[in-house]
C-alpha cells in the first residue's frame, strides 16, 4: 500500500519592484514541489523574489522558491569547495530543473 504525500498549506508570495502578489499554495514536503494557481500580475515591474510561507501569513516558516522554474522550493546541499572544503549552496528541489545543470548534488 502506498502512503499518500501530505501537502502543507501556505501562501506563495511574489515580490516585484512595483508590489507583491500573494496566492494560496500547497507544498509537497517530500518533493519540494509547489502547487499554486497562476495569478495575473499585470505590469508590476521586475520579479525580485518568490517565497513559500507555511500557514496563511508571512509569519510562518519561509522557503525560497527556485528563481528558474518557479515551481519548487530551494534546498541546501553541500558541494565541494576549495582545499577539500564544503560549501552550502541552495539548489532547486527538482533535480531536472535547468538551474541544477550547473550544480553538483551529493
| Domain assignment present for 3 | no
* 69-85 residue pLDDT tens: 999 999 988 878 777 78
| Domain assignment present for 78 | yes
Measured distance CA(30)–CA(53) in Å, rounded = 16
| Domain assignment present for 1 | no
- CB-based contact 18:63 (threshold 8 Å): no
pLDDT band at 56 (very low <50, low <70, confident <90, very high): confident
* 10-55 residue pLDDT tens: 999 999 999 999 999 999 999 999 999 888 878 899 999 999 999 9
Overall number of domains in the chain: 1
Domain range for 27? 8-38+45-102
| Domain assignment present for 90 | yes
Q: Which residues contact 11 (CB under 8 A, 6 or more apart)?
A: 22, 23, 24, 25, 52, 53, 55, 56, 57, 58, 60
| Domain assignment present for 2 | no
pLDDT at position 3 is 56
| Residue scoring higher pLDDT (22 or 4) | 22
The verdict on pTM exceeding 0.85 is no
Measured distance CA(38)–CA(26) in Å, rounded = 13
| Domain assignment present for 97 | yes
Amino acid at each position: 500500500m502506498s502512503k499518500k504525500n501530505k501537502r502543507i498549506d501556505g501562501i506563495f508570495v511574489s515580490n516585484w519592484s512595483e508590489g507583491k502578489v500573494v496566492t494560496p499554495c500547497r507544498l509537497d514536503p517530500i518533493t519540494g514541489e509547489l502547487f499554486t494557481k497562476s495569478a495575473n500580475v499585470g505590469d508590476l515591474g521586475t520579479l525580485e523574489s518568490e517565497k513559500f510561507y507555511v500557514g496563511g501569513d508571512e509569519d510562518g516558516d519561509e522557503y525560497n522558491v527556485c528563481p528558474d522554474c518557479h515551481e519548487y522550493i530551494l534546498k541546501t546541499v553541500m558541494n565541494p569547495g576549495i582545499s577539500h572544503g564544503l560549501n552550502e549552496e541552495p539548489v532547486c528541489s527538482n533535480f531536472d530543473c535547468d538551474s541544477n545543470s550547473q550544480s553538483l548534488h551529493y
